[in-house]
Homo-oligomer: A and B are copies of this chain.
Amino acid sequence: MATKRTKVKRLPKRGHYDRPTIDAILDEAILCHIGFEVDGQPYVIPSLHARVGDVLYLHGSAASRMMKRLAEGVQCCVTVTLVDGVVLARAVFDQSINYRSVVVLGQARLINEPAEKLVALEALTDQLVPGRWADTKPPTRQQLKATSILALPLDEASAKIRTGPPGNYPEDAEEWAATWTGVIPIAQAVGAPIPAPDLPKGVKVPKPVAEYGKRFSR
Protein backbone atom coordinates (compact mmCIF):
# COMPACT_ATOMS: atom_id res chain seq x y z
CA MET A 1 0.00 0.00 0.00
CA ALA A 2 2.73 2.47 0.94
CA THR A 3 4.33 3.74 -2.23
CA LYS A 4 6.89 6.51 -2.49
CA ARG A 5 4.02 8.89 -3.19
CA THR A 6 1.67 7.84 -0.37
CA LYS A 7 4.21 7.23 2.40
CA VAL A 8 3.50 9.76 5.15
CA LYS A 9 6.70 11.79 5.45
CA ARG A 10 5.67 14.52 7.92
CA LEU A 11 5.06 12.96 11.37
CA PRO A 12 5.46 9.38 10.04
CA LYS A 13 4.03 7.94 13.29
CA ARG A 14 0.62 9.12 12.03
CA GLY A 15 0.80 7.04 8.84
CA HIS A 16 -1.19 3.83 8.42
CA TYR A 17 -1.18 1.54 5.41
CA ASP A 18 -3.33 -1.43 6.42
CA ARG A 19 -6.58 -1.87 4.55
CA PRO A 20 -8.86 -2.33 7.59
CA THR A 21 -7.79 1.11 8.87
CA ILE A 22 -8.16 2.70 5.43
CA ASP A 23 -11.50 1.00 4.70
CA ALA A 24 -13.06 2.01 8.03
CA ILE A 25 -12.33 5.70 7.36
CA LEU A 26 -13.61 5.53 3.77
CA ASP A 27 -16.78 3.73 4.88
CA GLU A 28 -17.60 6.10 7.75
CA ALA A 29 -17.26 9.29 5.71
CA ILE A 30 -20.34 10.73 4.01
CA LEU A 31 -18.29 12.43 1.35
CA CYS A 32 -14.86 12.65 -0.19
CA HIS A 33 -12.94 15.40 -1.99
CA ILE A 34 -11.79 14.60 -5.53
CA GLY A 35 -8.70 16.31 -6.89
CA PHE A 36 -7.99 16.56 -10.61
CA GLU A 37 -6.43 19.03 -13.00
CA VAL A 38 -7.79 20.82 -16.06
CA ASP A 39 -5.62 23.18 -18.14
CA GLY A 40 -2.99 23.37 -15.41
CA GLN A 41 -5.52 24.27 -12.71
CA PRO A 42 -6.13 21.78 -9.90
CA TYR A 43 -9.74 21.44 -8.72
CA VAL A 44 -11.01 19.90 -5.48
CA ILE A 45 -14.68 18.94 -5.57
CA PRO A 46 -16.76 17.30 -2.81
CA SER A 47 -18.53 14.16 -3.94
CA LEU A 48 -20.19 10.99 -2.69
CA HIS A 49 -18.27 7.73 -2.82
CA ALA A 50 -18.71 4.05 -2.01
CA ARG A 51 -16.12 1.36 -1.46
CA VAL A 52 -16.77 -2.14 -2.79
CA GLY A 53 -13.86 -4.43 -2.02
CA ASP A 54 -10.73 -2.94 -3.53
CA VAL A 55 -12.47 -0.27 -5.53
CA LEU A 56 -13.85 3.18 -4.76
CA TYR A 57 -16.88 4.05 -6.88
CA LEU A 58 -17.60 7.68 -7.77
CA HIS A 59 -20.55 8.98 -9.72
CA GLY A 60 -21.82 12.16 -11.26
CA SER A 61 -23.54 13.67 -14.23
CA ALA A 62 -22.08 12.46 -17.50
CA ALA A 63 -22.12 16.14 -18.51
CA SER A 64 -19.94 17.32 -15.63
CA ARG A 65 -16.44 18.59 -16.30
CA MET A 66 -15.07 16.46 -13.48
CA MET A 67 -16.56 13.19 -14.67
CA LYS A 68 -15.49 13.84 -18.25
CA ARG A 69 -11.97 14.67 -17.16
CA LEU A 70 -11.63 11.68 -14.80
CA ALA A 71 -13.05 9.39 -17.49
CA GLU A 72 -10.04 10.29 -19.65
CA GLY A 73 -7.96 8.31 -17.18
CA VAL A 74 -6.00 11.26 -15.82
CA GLN A 75 -4.23 11.02 -12.47
CA CYS A 76 -6.53 11.92 -9.60
CA CYS A 77 -6.58 12.02 -5.82
CA VAL A 78 -9.52 11.17 -3.58
CA THR A 79 -9.26 12.33 0.02
CA VAL A 80 -11.59 11.63 2.94
CA THR A 81 -11.25 13.42 6.29
CA LEU A 82 -13.06 12.88 9.58
CA VAL A 83 -12.58 15.55 12.25
CA ASP A 84 -12.53 14.13 15.79
CA GLY A 85 -11.40 17.02 17.94
CA VAL A 86 -9.75 20.38 18.39
CA VAL A 87 -6.42 19.97 20.20
CA LEU A 88 -5.50 22.94 22.36
CA ALA A 89 -1.90 22.97 23.49
CA ARG A 90 -0.17 25.56 25.68
CA ALA A 91 1.95 26.72 22.77
CA VAL A 92 0.60 28.12 19.50
CA PHE A 93 3.09 25.90 17.68
CA ASP A 94 1.46 22.74 19.09
CA GLN A 95 -2.21 23.48 18.32
CA SER A 96 -3.65 20.73 16.21
CA ILE A 97 -6.74 18.72 15.46
CA ASN A 98 -7.54 15.08 15.97
CA TYR A 99 -8.54 13.57 12.66
CA ARG A 100 -8.59 10.47 10.49
CA SER A 101 -7.88 10.92 6.80
CA VAL A 102 -7.29 8.74 3.76
CA VAL A 103 -5.61 9.72 0.51
CA VAL A 104 -6.08 7.55 -2.59
CA LEU A 105 -4.01 8.19 -5.72
CA GLY A 106 -4.55 6.70 -9.12
CA GLN A 107 -6.50 6.67 -12.36
CA ALA A 108 -10.21 6.00 -12.42
CA ARG A 109 -11.80 3.68 -14.95
CA LEU A 110 -15.07 4.64 -16.63
CA ILE A 111 -17.65 1.90 -16.29
CA ASN A 112 -19.73 1.31 -19.39
CA GLU A 113 -21.43 -2.01 -18.60
CA PRO A 114 -24.98 -1.26 -17.37
CA ALA A 115 -24.79 -4.25 -14.97
CA GLU A 116 -21.65 -2.94 -13.25
CA LYS A 117 -23.10 0.60 -13.26
CA LEU A 118 -26.07 -0.75 -11.31
CA VAL A 119 -23.80 -2.55 -8.84
CA ALA A 120 -21.95 0.72 -8.26
CA LEU A 121 -25.16 2.75 -7.91
CA GLU A 122 -26.49 0.24 -5.40
CA ALA A 123 -23.27 0.62 -3.39
CA LEU A 124 -23.42 4.43 -3.61
CA THR A 125 -27.06 4.43 -2.51
CA ASP A 126 -26.47 2.03 0.37
CA GLN A 127 -23.34 3.96 1.39
CA LEU A 128 -25.62 6.96 1.97
CA VAL A 129 -28.10 4.89 4.02
CA PRO A 130 -27.77 1.11 4.44
CA GLY A 131 -30.54 -0.79 2.63
CA ARG A 132 -31.80 2.31 0.83
CA TRP A 133 -31.42 0.74 -2.64
CA ALA A 134 -34.17 -1.81 -1.96
CA ASP A 135 -36.63 0.95 -1.02
CA THR A 136 -36.06 3.30 -3.93
CA LYS A 137 -36.97 3.57 -7.56
CA PRO A 138 -34.13 2.22 -9.72
CA PRO A 139 -32.67 4.50 -12.37
CA THR A 140 -34.43 4.53 -15.73
CA ARG A 141 -32.39 3.62 -18.79
CA GLN A 142 -32.11 7.34 -19.60
CA GLN A 143 -30.97 8.23 -16.08
CA LEU A 144 -28.40 5.44 -16.18
CA LYS A 145 -27.07 6.86 -19.44
CA ALA A 146 -26.88 10.35 -17.95
CA THR A 147 -24.85 9.07 -14.99
CA SER A 148 -21.13 8.42 -15.24
CA ILE A 149 -19.67 5.87 -12.87
CA LEU A 150 -15.96 5.68 -12.19
CA ALA A 151 -13.98 3.00 -10.37
CA LEU A 152 -10.76 4.00 -8.62
CA PRO A 153 -8.63 1.08 -7.39
CA LEU A 154 -7.38 1.27 -3.80
CA ASP A 155 -3.88 0.19 -4.88
CA GLU A 156 -2.18 3.37 -3.73
CA ALA A 157 -3.74 4.60 -0.52
CA SER A 158 -2.67 5.72 2.91
CA ALA A 159 -4.31 6.88 6.12
CA LYS A 160 -3.14 9.55 8.53
CA ILE A 161 -4.50 9.65 12.06
CA ARG A 162 -3.98 11.92 15.04
CA THR A 163 -5.56 11.01 18.37
CA GLY A 164 -5.03 11.83 22.00
CA PRO A 165 -4.12 14.82 24.13
CA PRO A 166 -2.06 17.86 23.14
CA GLY A 167 1.69 17.43 22.83
CA ASN A 168 2.60 19.96 25.50
CA TYR A 169 6.21 20.61 26.36
CA PRO A 170 6.94 20.19 30.10
CA GLU A 171 8.96 23.42 30.08
CA ASP A 172 5.81 25.45 29.23
CA ALA A 173 3.85 24.02 32.16
CA GLU A 174 4.92 26.62 34.72
CA GLU A 175 4.73 29.88 32.79
CA TRP A 176 1.47 28.88 31.04
CA ALA A 177 -0.07 27.07 33.99
CA ALA A 178 -3.20 29.22 33.84
CA THR A 179 -3.91 28.21 30.22
CA TRP A 180 -6.55 25.54 29.75
CA THR A 181 -5.17 22.72 27.64
CA GLY A 182 -6.94 19.66 26.33
CA VAL A 183 -9.18 18.43 23.54
CA ILE A 184 -12.63 19.56 22.40
CA PRO A 185 -14.23 16.39 20.98
CA ILE A 186 -16.02 16.88 17.66
CA ALA A 187 -18.41 14.32 16.25
CA GLN A 188 -21.36 14.11 13.88
CA ALA A 189 -24.74 14.92 15.34
CA VAL A 190 -27.77 13.40 13.67
CA GLY A 191 -31.03 15.30 14.01
CA ALA A 192 -34.56 13.90 13.94
CA PRO A 193 -35.45 12.93 10.34
CA ILE A 194 -37.50 15.63 8.56
CA PRO A 195 -40.22 14.09 6.39
CA ALA A 196 -40.58 15.42 2.85
CA PRO A 197 -43.67 17.60 2.30
CA ASP A 198 -45.13 14.90 0.03
CA LEU A 199 -44.61 11.98 2.44
CA PRO A 200 -47.96 10.23 2.97
CA LYS A 201 -49.13 9.95 6.56
CA GLY A 202 -48.34 6.69 8.27
CA VAL A 203 -45.03 5.93 6.51
CA LYS A 204 -42.68 4.99 9.29
CA VAL A 205 -39.07 6.10 9.53
CA PRO A 206 -36.97 3.07 8.48
CA LYS A 207 -34.58 1.67 11.09
CA PRO A 208 -31.36 2.64 9.22
CA VAL A 209 -32.67 6.23 9.03
CA ALA A 210 -33.72 6.32 12.68
CA GLU A 211 -30.37 4.83 13.72
CA TYR A 212 -28.27 6.88 11.33
CA GLY A 213 -25.91 7.97 14.11
CA LYS A 214 -24.57 4.41 14.29
CA ARG A 215 -22.48 4.95 11.17
CA PHE A 216 -20.24 7.33 13.07
CA SER A 217 -17.63 5.78 15.34
CA ARG A 218 -17.19 9.01 17.35
Contact = CB atoms under 8 A, between A and B. Distances in A.
Interface string A181-218: 11111111111111111111001111001001000000
Given A44-B33, A212-B184, A178 B203 contact: yes
Nearest to A91: B137
Interface residues of A, number: 95
Nearest to A178: B203
Given A44-B79, A191-B186, A10 B63 contact: yes
Contacts of A9: 64-65
A184 B198 contact: no
Contacts of A115: none
Contacts of A166: 196
29 contacts: A10-B63, A35-B44, A42-B76, A43-B77, A43-B103, A44-B78, A44-B79, A45-B103, A46-B101, A91-B143, A92-B133, A92-B139, A93-B137, A95-B132, A95-B136, A129-B184, A135-B179, A135-B180, A136-B179, A137-B179, A165-B196, A168-B196, A173-B200, A177-B203, A182-B195, A184-B190, A185-B191, A187-B191, A188-B188
Interface of A: 5, 9-10, 30-31, 33-37, 40-46, 48, 61, 63-65, 75-79, 81, 83, 85-86, 88-93, 95, 97, 99, 101, 103, 105, 121, 125, 128-129, 132-133, 135-140, 143, 147, 165-166, 168, 170, 172-173, 175-200, 203-206, 209, 212
